[in-house]
Amino acid sequence: MVERRRRKKAAPRKPGKRPRRRRPRPGDVKGLAAALDIEPRHPGLLRQALTHKSAEQELGLLSNERLEFLGDSVLDLVLAEHLFKGHPDLAEGDLTKLKAVAVSEPVLAAIARELDLGRFLLLAKGEEQTGGRDRSSILADAMEAIFAAVYLDRGYRAARKLIAGLLGSRLEAIERREYEPDYKTLLQEKIQERHRSPPTYRVVAQSGPDHDRTFVAEARIGRRVLGSGSGKSKKQAEQAAARAALMAQE
């Protein structure tokens, strides 16, 4: 008689160790809610927040454009309140500058990438094939739509808590005037909308002693110089060159 093999018991999970989070997939509202640490009453709002306008006709869903409109105002109010209360010594102009950085596309897109938001988005095939899941403008718009969805679903306090939690140390750096956007990524996205190849960077000069070097870099498309900038490292110089290139195109 053949003896049956005994099944091995699964090893008990170590106390305090969370199960591995599943990989996000388009329209995964439960996964997004878990990533945001919220409990939505009306999951359909979050699903709409994930729906890009390109998928509206293809999938027969409402796009997130109206939510984006509302979320922009919710974000503005939350940050205006935070800065107003936290910096009673600052004038209106200074408060406006800080808020402009905090609500900017680079900041919102960076938060979205930390959440891996691109994998949750509902996009048309064409938009996905052209890199829509990692396009800063799409990610930033989706973040604003999410803020609106949480506001409508759970109220202002929940939206304020979510925004404060997501901005976190990044907002503190902005208030200390230490935050620097990733201009190279922004320039690459803008250039690739018009050209097939990304911009390149070249250090064209350096000066000063070894312990205090200053580098000058250029951002280029082929032989065409888009912008130049300087910094205390090659990385800083390239960022400055990308920033100059972006400003030249505005």
DSSP string, 7-49: PPPPPPPPTTPPPPPPPP-TT-HHHHHHHHT---S-HHHHHHH
Confidence at residue 135, expressed as pLDDT on a 0 to 100 scale: 87
**pTM (2 d.p.):** 0.71
The CATH code of domain 29-175 reads 1.10.1520.10
Q: 203 pLDDT exceeds 50?
A: yes
pLDDT tens digits, 91-135: 998 899 899 889 988 899 999 999 999 999 999 888 888 888 888
Q: 180 pLDDT exceeds 80?
A: no
Cα 69 from Cα 64, distance rounded (Å): 9
Q: Which of 28, 68, 141, 144 is catalytic?
A: 144
Q: 157 pLDDT exceeds 60?
A: yes
Q: Which of 72, 127, 141, 218 is catalytic?
A: 72
Task: Note if 72 is an active site residue.
Answer: yes
Element counts in the chain: helices (H) and strands (E): 11, 3
In the CATH scheme, what architecture does the domain 197-249 have? 2-Layer Sandwich (3.30)
Q: Report domain extents, the chain.
A: 29-175, 197-249
Confidence at residue 9, expressed as pLDDT on a 0 to 100 scale: 47
Task: Note if 144 is an active site residue.
Answer: yes
29-175 and 197-249 in the same fold: no
